[in-house]
Structure 1
């Protein structure tokens, strides 16, 4: 059983807690928050009023009631919190995007190794069974001709921007924007399925706060291109597709795949390949991380961890390049 703590009182924290508890591999022992009022409100809403609340950061670092911490604070706080926890010999699960820069990922992974603990990026969709089904289909497919992935969802917090405010997800102060919030699912999918592209370009629509509200990403591979469409100031219902010279793999989404249909050119017919997804969105992710934390010397577990770590670094590196291409600079980088 993994005794764990949570930093953050957002909706995603609640989803992780529900999913982790349902695996019977995790036991929530502490909630860290700078605000007792917010923490109490969150615990009441999640029906977890029995969980102790900690507001003192130094006391939290030295707390031996947990070995692992799930970090779901604003993006710009991830790195500072992660380093302190790793040095305190805590395993950490950092909600995506893990950090703004590749250099920070390299540093954190090095510190984790030195302290004998694990660091995971919570890119939940890569652990889902249907994501793996697509990867297997591609492994058995003929030459890839290209792909188009789409994930755009209008955020109600954009209404605040239009009213002159700067909510965390739409500000350079807290390392926000559409690319790192929704586009990261598309980037992760492309890199996991096709590898690192030779070139990448981001044609972003920047909003008044300095971050990207929406945009189009072009990833160039040796023999094909991948187009990624993302946004938080528009609403899209487009599916996603992968093209080979004999098939089209049609996905209802890449961030949470529930439908996989393969159209076959020669027979003009479709085959269905999706498996049933768990009811809880982060269940597969929580189970995957537990398989490593609970078996720290198992070779297969360590091989999975090494793959996830390398993938996290590759994705962060690519997203950093895309931000630079679009001229999106966070406050900490100025």
Structure 2
């Protein structure tokens, strides 16, 4: 059994816990929230034994092996450092950290604690549908670019229109479209095509001074990849990867529900349409596999690849913000 502690009691935490209950070794034991009422309510709903509203007590006294961090973005770094110091494995929601300095410090701390494992919860790259895309891309002799779109209206934007500043749209908490839905599209591009040579970002800044939506261009030696993402409107545009005459069609760059390969003659073949019971289940099973047997050669290779992807995505996100002059308070510390 892998004993699990959580930081954050929002909907995404509940989805993660629901995924762990689908034939996995994870067992929720410990819940931290800033208020004991929220911690107790979440723990009671999910049958957890321990509740905390004090971080030091949570990490020192909590009977858990791995912590799942789903706090506002700007707090991920602080909580990850506490977890490493307490010898707890880490699963942190994307984006892991807000800048390269934070990522480098976490990397250095992890080298001092080689038994502590770190995972960024980039759920889509663990799914069967994404792996079908990877397999097809590897078969295509020519790649001429791609466009990835993930744009969904956030109900919390209603609060912005009413003059409020929710965490997800706050500079203080490292919010905005790029740091939320944009992360999925960056993961798509970096996982499939590697690191770009140059990046540009054209954000649409909203009243809270973060990006409500935007378009990013990743320049590779022989092609460009265009990323469209946003939280202030809905898009129903599919995503595509371009070969010479052939194309991969993806219904949604974040959810990835249906993947179709269209050959040079226009013949269409569905190569990915696995409907996961819970979209976080594939990543949970991958993390479980590595935690339970971290010495296995294949698990080591997977872990190292995921960690390198996390560092690469962190760099691309930071460079995109720099290009658009989007600065968070953590960047200035």
Question: TM-score by structure 1 length?
Answer: 0.96
Q: What does residue 58 of structure 1 align with? A: 56
Whether the 8 Å contact between 1:109 and 1:119 is mirrored in structure 2 is no
List 4+ stretches of structure 1 deviating above 6 A.
Answer: none
Q: What is the aligned-residue RMSD (CA, Å)? A: 1.2
Distance 2:8 2:91 in 1: 12
Q: Which of 283, 295, 300 is the aligned partner of 2:298?
A: 300
Distance 2:106 2:315 in 1: 14
Distance 2:19 2:260 in 1: 28
Whether the 8 Å contact between 2:201 and 2:324 is mirrored in structure 1 is yes
Distance 1:11 1:194 in 2: 32
TM-superposition CA deviations, 1:29-72 (whole Å, max 9, x none): 1001110122233345xx32443211121111112511110000
**Residues paired across the two proteins, number:** 331
Q: What does residue 7 of structure 1 align with? A: 7
Q: What does residue 313 of structure 1 align with? A: 311
Whether the 8 Å contact between 1:78 and 1:99 is mirrored in structure 2 is yes
1:32 pairs with 2:32: yes
Distance 1:261 1:73 in 2: 35
Q: What does residue 105 of structure 1 align with? A: 103
- Offset, 1:228: 0.6
Q: What does residue 207 of structure 1 align with? A: 206
Q: 1:156-195, aligned counterparts within 5 Å? A: 156-195=155-194
TM-superposition CA deviations, 1:172-203 (whole Å, max 9, x none): 00000000100110000000001111111000
Unaligned residue ranges in structure 2 (runs of 5+): none
1:86 pairs with 2:84: yes
Q: 1:215-294, aligned counterparts within 5 Å? A: 215-265=214-264, 267-294=265-292
Whether the 8 Å contact between 1:120 and 1:309 is mirrored in structure 2 is yes
Please give the secondary structure, in 2, of the residue aligned with 1:271.
strand
CA change 1:64–1:283 in 2 (3 A) is same
Q: 1:131-146, aligned counterparts within 5 Å? A: 131-146=130-145
Please give the secondary structure, in 2, of the residue aligned with 1:183.
helix
Question: TM-score by structure 2 length?
Answer: 0.96
Which 10-residue stretch deviates more, 267-276 or 12-21? Answer: 267-276
- Offset, 1:103: 2.0
